[in-house]
Amino acid sequence: MTAVTAPTATRAELIDLLRRMREIRIFEDIVQDWFTRAVVRGSTHLYQGQEAVAVGVTSALRVGDTTTCTYRGHGTVLAQGAPLDRSFGEILGKAGGLCGGKGGSMHLTDLSMGALGSFAIVGAHLPISAGAGWAAQLLGTGAVSATFFGDGASNIGTFHETMNLAAIWRLPVLFVLENNLYGEYSPIGTTTVNTNLSERAAGYGMPGIRVDGNDVLAVLEVARTAVRRAREGEGPTLIEAMTYRQSGHSRSDPAKYRPAGELDAWLARDPILLAEAHLRDLGVGESELTALAADVTTRVRAAADRALSWDEPSAQSRFDDVWVTS
């Protein structure tokens, strides 16, 4: 996990941000292919198009900080530092998966990296990050916790309860609202009147800020400010990152409900394209960008192949991990 401290990213840092976004992109493309070809059963929720949010925010974190996220969590867990192969392995339900195959695509978790988990019940994970923040506050570790959730999740009870609790307890928490314009198949404007969701923060006496969620540097800057506040004991921040879900909600969704042109407009603002444009401005040449892309693709593909080769869990293993002692 990179700990960025300079006010703006250097060339090297930006290259690193791009590499990590590409890693997630390739990862998700491979997972999408697996589910389309029914290599895996069940459902999956992909992150293509939102990479700048997870990469930008986690880049403002340091070792010891934590994240929680949703069933659309591959990107966040990888950005937090989970190994590619064990993440693939979990989605494949392999014994070597992050969770031994018990959790699957919606539950990638890597405590060793501070990725406290992916949760499949909308809104359920927000208080988990509040609790991590409370622990940091009591233990004086200075750690910050970031919780990633969607626009649709901002209408469920736990969002309200957790925002309020975190504010009154001044917890070191970043509420990262990934506004990708849709909750499942519903445009946000059909499920709430005031679609400027960052304005909800005021009701809790918490700062709320909207940011271009496809610009990784913009996200990074906003996250740094929020992290600073949190570490200095000034409490939580609501960050609304405006972004777009390039694929459907889940495996079974063709996303027919999208108005014509919407996807293309957002593809033109693809976070990876934007980052590459930044780098060109910094004088990075095409060859370096192509090499980076090729290198990432090779590494991610290799990780996928490793995971595919792993054993299935033994049927007996299903009895493990219910209890510590019983």
Ligand X SMILES: Cc1ncc(C[n+]2csc(CCOP(=O)(O)OP(=O)(O)O)c2C)c(N)n1
DSSP percent split of the chain into helix, strand, coil, nearest 5: 50, 15, 40
Q: How many residues does the chain have?
A: 326
120 binds ligand X (CB under 6 A): yes
Site for another protein in 45-104 (CB under 8 A): 66, 68, 93-94, 97-104
Angle ∠(267,254,215) on CA atoms, nearest 5: 25
Give the binding range for a second copy (CB under 8 A) out of 6-14, 46-54, 184-192, 245-253: 184-192
CB atoms within 10 A of CB 320: 11
In whole angstroms, the minimum distance from the beta carbon of 39 to Mg ion comes to 26
Which of residues 152 and 172 has its CB atom nearest to Mg ion in the complex? Answer: 152
245's tokens: 């879900």
Enumerate residues 175-214 that contact ligand X by CB under 6 A. 180, 182-184
Residue 120 site contact among a second copy, Mg ion, ligand X, none (CB < 5 to 8 Å, cut-off depends on kind): ligand X
Report the candidate in 171, 185, 283 with the shortest Cα–Cα distance to residue 229: 171
Would you count residue 159 as binding a second copy (CB under 8 A)? Answer: yes
Given Mg ion, another protein, a second copy, none, residue 193, with its beta carbon under 5 to 8 Å by kind, binds a second copy
Residue 150 interacting with ligand X (CB under 6 A): yes
What is the distance between the alpha carbons of residues 237 and 133, in angstroms, rounded to a whole number?
A: 13
Measured CA to CA, the distance from residue 50 to residue 182 in angstroms comes to 13
CB 239 within 8 A of CB 57: yes
**Closest listed residue to residue 198, CA positions, set 211, 215, 187:** 211
Count Cβ atoms within 10 A of the Cβ of residue 308 and give its class: 0-12 exposed, 13-18 middle, 19 or more buried.
middle
- Residue 192 CB, nearest distance to a second copy (Å)? 6
Q: Which is nearer to Mg ion, 50 or 137 (CB)?
A: 50
Q: Which does 260 bind (CB under 5 to 8 A by kind): Mg ion, a second copy, ligand X, none?
A: none
Q: Among 32, 191, 195, 225, which residue interacts with another protein (rule: CB under 8 A)?
A: 191
Beta-carbon-side half-sphere exposure of residue 300 (alpha carbons within 13 Å): 21
Q: Please report whether residue 35 would count as binding a second copy according to CB under 8 A.
A: no
Residues of this chain that interact with ligand X (CB under 6 A) are 70, 72, 120-122, 149-153, 180, 182-184, 245, 249
Residues of this chain that interact with a second copy (CB under 8 A) are 155-161, 164, 167-168, 190-194, 199-200, 202-206
Residues of this chain that interact with Mg ion (CB under 5 A) are 150-152, 180, 182-183
